[in-house]
Structure 1
Amino acid sequence: MIQRFSISPFDLTVFAVLAICALAVTGLAWRAGGTMGAADDLRFLYLTSDEQGRNHLFISGIAPDGTLIEPRALTDGSDGVWDFATAPGGKTVIYSALSSLGMGDLWALSLDTGQRSQLLACPEASCSNAQYAPDGRLLSYTLRNMSDYSSAFFSPPRLWILDTTTGETGFIFPDSQQLAFEGRWSPDGSRLSYISPDPAGLGVINLADGQTALYPNALGEAGVWHPQKNLLLTTNTWVEGTDYVTHILQIDVESDEVTDLSGETSLTNDSGPSYSPDGGWIAFRRKVLRGEQESRGKQIWIMRSDGSDARPLTADADVDYGTPSWSPDGRYLLTRRFPLLGPDIVPSLWLIDTQTDEVRMILEPADQPMWVKNNE
């Protein structure tokens, strides 16, 4: 069921002031050890852990001949990387540096020079889930304040906006106590989706008039926007016979039309959808519950954006694959592969060629892969 709410124009004053501010994000591709940065290279970011269990950010890539470009570390030091995202144009990466006390600041790093700068200090708090608006003007992020009862990492989340030109910050909602996190911008920047803990669901706020809507969100995953349209992917779970199924839903946020892309009678648990750069295909994770394709872990599948022509790209019953990431040219998928049975339970990165169906490991250990968009 879809719930709608309204916010008065007066309550949006703070956001309106922030929305007129601008950010210019510039840079070029960074050459790693003289091997990174050719115009035809496909670059990607990923995390790997040090001996103390802290995650650090690395960059690598795929050369035109299909070979792996030598990885290069982008971060080091005592603070680990909690999460990261790229700016429009693929020239800058922003990440949350997580301290041992559960607090985190936001940092920006140039993929041209490798230089980094603190974008936002978050004393006595944790700032994470940073996402640039499509034109690079504003940045949404999740803030969790430390309290007398818990560290910042475990505190209630709230969604904020940062003006990266002036450093000013403000709430997205007029009620400063409204909980929300994992903000994601629509392709035209007119809307922002978010995870709502209470009431539970996937929320969407129209930034022009403040109207909000709440949609199903079974797994607590961030919403996934179509690259050119105001279509949003989410998931919902229900009982089908004796099975709990999870399907991918496509929501038209302008008409509220909801389409079950998994197929209404499909006995599957689907999650982690990702649109191809042209919006024509969706890669996703699928666990088939019955039949010949039944598996212990989730496999990587693709389907057309209307749900047709679904087919598997992997078939490893005792392996779980993570959310797939499309290369900018729409040919390759990157995913994390995690064995569910020992003895070597180590996460690794696997490259899938959607044209040839070739699947191969490229890095180990590694996790959370994300392609870097080509310079625009």
Structure 2
Amino acid sequence: MLDKFDRYMLSVIGVIILMLGGLLVYGDQVGVHVIDTVPSDGATIGVATDIRITFDQAVDRESAQERFQLQPAIQGEFRWRGASTLIFRPDAPLQPNQRYEVRIEEGIRSITGRIMDEPFRFSFTTQPLSATVYYLTPAEASRQGLWAINPDGSDPRPIFTPEFGIFSYAPSPDGTQLAVTVLTENAASADIWLINADGNNVQQLTDCAPGVCGQAAWSPNRDLLAYAKQTVNEFGSLSPARVWLWDLATNETAPVFEDNQVLGFYPIWSPNGKILSFYDSNATAIRLIELDSGTVRLIETQLPERWSFSPFGDMLAYSDLRSNEGWYYPQLVWINLIGQPQRTPILENPEQDQEPIYSPDGQWIVFRRRLVDGGNNGSQLMLYNIVDKSLREITTDPDYTNSNVQWSPDSTRIIFQRYQLRTAEFIPEIWLYDINTEALQLLVSNATGAQWSNN
């Protein structure tokens, strides 16, 4: 005869058996879910982008592609990264200043037969293509101020001139703010300040004195600011730079790596904001870190010069050295960041080529070139067409050298800095080049550090 306790325990065991049975019968029917998207919901992005949806399990490709919708609708092609990440790549850049909505309909099947039983939506907005050119002036002065000018050369105007000058600056992706590196007296230290695009609402962000903070780089969705920080060591001198992150929502800041042997400067974000890169002089490499997973990759190069991501974030273009008859020359290289990395030269017939910069639409790479037998002539600017592999000269005057190339948001114009060689006067100028008309235009003299901004 069972007593009360025995009956209670039997009922508990029965419930557990029913639950286990339910798991056995229905456990494999747990639904499919979206766990990540690029762009993220609510992000503001450039017009050249792909759209990625990552599911929590491997799915049937056809069932996922059939249930993908983008409004307004555009033509494109589907690609896959593994069996769980769907990639939609538009055939052409998206429309500027446009809100897009992505809808994933229910009914997607996993390879084990599970079903996505609820639709998933997210949206993003593309940046406007109206642009302003910012620059620092006067170039020869020890204390420079930040100015702006329209791309047609009209309305040069002062924006922000602190007492001891500006070292560098970075416009935010949406063009509403700038992160400005402000110097103290005698350039003894520097901090990052935030200002509005018109120079108002000035706020000091970092407090690095007696050290130096600078080289600010905004994440594409404006939630993080990467920057280089140098502290003063026990001997009273500046230590090598390390890269830090500032969370603009919480105002918390910390080094990207706790290990103080991981050095870094010149932070650059991938277009989707998933990867932060910087040059690590200890490793003699470009260091890439996926912030979500913490995965680190080193791209070895002897040249700590500007590099760039393709608009879709699947390629990295950079400079490295090549050997030719016992001499070493810079060359352009790119590497595939998806799947098995493969490093290949960009150009079949290189000279002394440096600093490859992708256009926002992914059609061009602009770079600096000096001929191997060019003597003391200056660096000229070249355009490489990624589709047909043709080359176009932008500048040709050997008495001038050209640098600091920046693409306009719509990929139709380039601004750059140039100055004359073999002269006692060092007066840099900012020039503009139109891709379609091939016209060159002087924007402003006695200026440096020009950058585009969306506003």
TM-score by length of 1: 0.81
- 1:228-285 deviation digits (Å, cap 9, x = unpaired): 223212111122125422111112222312221132x42x111222211211111111
Determine whether 1:167 maps to 2:251: yes
- Structure 1 stretch 49-58 or stretch 310-319: which is displaced more? 49-58
Determine whether 1:116 maps to 2:209: no
Determine whether 1:183 maps to 2:267: yes
Q: Which residue of 2 aligns with 1:269?
A: 352
Once the two structures are superposed, the pairs formed by residues 82-161 of structure 1 within 5 Å of their partners are 82-99=167-184, 100-112=186-198, 114-152=200-238, 155-161=239-245
**Rounded Cα–Cα distance in structure 2 between residues aligned with 1:113 and 1:81:** 13
**Rounded Cα–Cα distance in structure 2 between residues aligned with 1:177 and 1:242:** 33
1:357 to 399, 417, 438: 438
Residues 191 and 207 of structure 1 are in contact (CA less than 8 Å); yes or no, is this contact kept in structure 2? yes
- 1:40-78 deviation digits (Å, cap 9, x = unpaired): 85311111137751222111112xxxx312211222232
- 1:188-224 deviation digits (Å, cap 9, x = unpaired): 2221111011121111112233222211333212431
Determine whether 1:284 maps to 2:405: no
Q: Which residue of 2 aligns with 1:296?
A: 377
Q: Which residue of 2 aligns with 1:10?
A: none
**Rounded Cα–Cα distance in structure 1 between residues aligned with 2:313 and 2:430:** 30
| Higher relative contact order (Cα pairs below 8 Å, separated by 6+ residues) | 1
Could you say if the C-alpha distance between residues 170 and 345 of structure 1 is closer, same or farther in structure 2, counting changes exceeding 3 Å? Answer: closer
**Rounded Cα–Cα distance in structure 1 between residues aligned with 2:183 and 2:311:** 30
The count of corresponding residues between Structure 1 and Structure 2 is: 330
Determine whether 1:46 maps to 2:135: yes
- 1:277-317 deviation digits (Å, cap 9, x = unpaired): 21111111111224xx8771110110123681112111011
* Partner SS for 2:228: strand
Structure 1: gaps spanning 5 or more residues = 1-22, 26-38
* Partner SS for 1:220: coil
Counterpart residue identity of residue 453, structure 2: V
**Rounded Cα–Cα distance in structure 2 between residues aligned with 1:240 and 1:136:** 44
**Rounded Cα–Cα distance in structure 2 between residues aligned with 1:98 and 1:300:** 32
Q: Which residue of 2 aligns with 1:347?
A: 428
Determine whether 1:76 maps to 2:161: yes
Residues 172 and 453 of structure 2 are in contact (CA less than 8 Å); yes or no, is this contact kept in structure 1? no
Could you say if the C-alpha distance between residues 177 and 269 of structure 1 is closer, same or farther in structure 2, counting changes exceeding 3 Å? Answer: same
Q: Which residue of 1 aligns with 2:119?
A: none
Structure 1 residue 98 displacement after superposition: 1.9
Could you say if the C-alpha distance between residues 235 and 49 of structure 1 is closer, same or farther in structure 2, counting changes exceeding 3 Å? Answer: same
**Rounded Cα–Cα distance in structure 2 between residues aligned with 1:84 and 1:233:** 23
**Rounded Cα–Cα distance in structure 1 between residues aligned with 2:317 and 2:43:** 29
**Rounded Cα–Cα distance in structure 2 between residues aligned with 1:141 and 1:24:** 22
**Rounded Cα–Cα distance in structure 1 between residues aligned with 2:338 and 2:188:** 39
Once the two structures are superposed, the pairs formed by residues 310-349 of structure 1 within 5 Å of their partners are 310-349=391-430
* Partner SS for 1:142: strand
Q: Which residue of 2 aligns with 1:59?
A: 148
**Rounded Cα–Cα distance in structure 2 between residues aligned with 1:254 and 1:149:** 44
- Structure 1 stretch 176-185 or stretch 364-373: which is displaced more? 176-185
If each structure's helix is expressed as a fraction of its own residues, which one has the higher value? 2
Counterpart residue identity of residue 403, structure 2: G
Q: Which residue of 2 aligns with 1:305?
A: 386
Residues 218 and 246 of structure 1 are in contact (CA less than 8 Å); yes or no, is this contact kept in structure 2? no
- 1:114-162 deviation digits (Å, cap 9, x = unpaired): 332112222221111111111111111111002343444xx21111111
Could you say if the C-alpha distance between residues 300 and 89 of structure 1 is closer, same or farther in structure 2, counting changes exceeding 3 Å? Answer: same
Counterpart residue identity of residue 245, structure 2: I
**Rounded Cα–Cα distance in structure 2 between residues aligned with 1:227 and 1:159:** 23
Structure 1 residue 360 displacement after superposition: 2.4
Residues 224 and 234 of structure 1 are in contact (CA less than 8 Å); yes or no, is this contact kept in structure 2? yes
Larger radius of gyration: 2
Counterpart residue identity of residue 263, structure 2: L
Structure 1 residue 371 displacement after superposition: 0.9
Residues 236 and 249 of structure 1 are in contact (CA less than 8 Å); yes or no, is this contact kept in structure 2? yes
Structure 1 residue 166 displacement after superposition: 2.0
Structure 1 residue 333 displacement after superposition: 1.0
Structure 2: gaps spanning 5 or more residues = 1-41, 45-127
Counterpart residue identity of residue 201, structure 2: Q
Could you say if the C-alpha distance between residues 306 and 145 of structure 1 is closer, same or farther in structure 2, counting changes exceeding 3 Å? Answer: farther
**Rounded Cα–Cα distance in structure 2 between residues aligned with 1:307 and 1:216:** 28
TM-score by length of 2: 0.68
**Rounded Cα–Cα distance in structure 2 between residues aligned with 1:113 and 1:179:** 33
Could you say if the C-alpha distance between residues 130 and 121 of structure 1 is closer, same or farther in structure 2, counting changes exceeding 3 Å? Answer: same
1:218 to 275, 295, 302: 302
Percentage of identical aligned residues: 27
